[in-house]
């Protein structure tokens, strides 16, 4: 059952095949399909902090930007995510994410952790990967970028 109470706070486009889900909040949601035991909301968000384009095939996942400000957690397209937590609490723009299992992707690095495309990540720590690629240490791969 989808509860669309509280006036027009939750601008919802199309919802299909939703079971045990809660789609509400102050953010605009585009299309949601095949959501099982998922929670898509924008709790304690400010302005348009959680603009979601298309979300499909999410199982036991949480997509939200709690305590967000401005536009910290813009998410493009998300597909085939299982047991994952995607948030943009401190301003991280995520482009496309596919085939992520048991991973944690967060915007703890601020603008320096912008991700374009991420695919096939399993049991990984994204912060360590970003430190390796873009950190300020001597052993990082792209130490002259930032």
State both tokens at 94. Answer: 């995520």
pLDDT digits (tens, 9 = 90+) for 51-99: 555 555 555 445 554 443 444 445 555 655 554 555 544 444 555 555 5
Q: Strand 85-86's sheet: what is its strand order?
A: 22-25, 39-42, 62-63, 85-86, 104-105
pLDDT digits (tens, 9 = 90+) for 87-134: 544 444 555 555 555 445 554 444 444 455 555 555 556 666 666 666
Please tell me the number of Cα atoms within 13 Å of 23 on its side-chain side.
24
């Amino acid at each position: 059952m989808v509860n669309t109470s509280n006036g027009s706070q939750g601008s919802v486009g199309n919802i299909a095949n939703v079971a045990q889900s809660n789609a509400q909040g102050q953010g605009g949601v585009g299309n949601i399909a095949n959501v099982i035991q998922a929670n898509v909301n924008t709790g304690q968000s400010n302005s348009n902090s959680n603009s979601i384009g298309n979300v499909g095939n999410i199982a036991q996942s949480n997509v939200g930007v709690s305590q967000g400000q401005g536009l910290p957690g813009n998410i493009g397209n998300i597909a085939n995510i299982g047991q994952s937590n995607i948030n943009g609490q401190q301003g991280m723009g995520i482009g496309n994410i596919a085939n992520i299992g048991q991973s944690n992707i967060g915007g703890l690095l601020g603008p320096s952790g912008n991700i374009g495309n991420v695919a096939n990540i399993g049991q990984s720590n994204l912060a360590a990967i970003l430190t390796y690629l873009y950190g300020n240490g001597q052993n990082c791969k792209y130490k002259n970028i930032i």
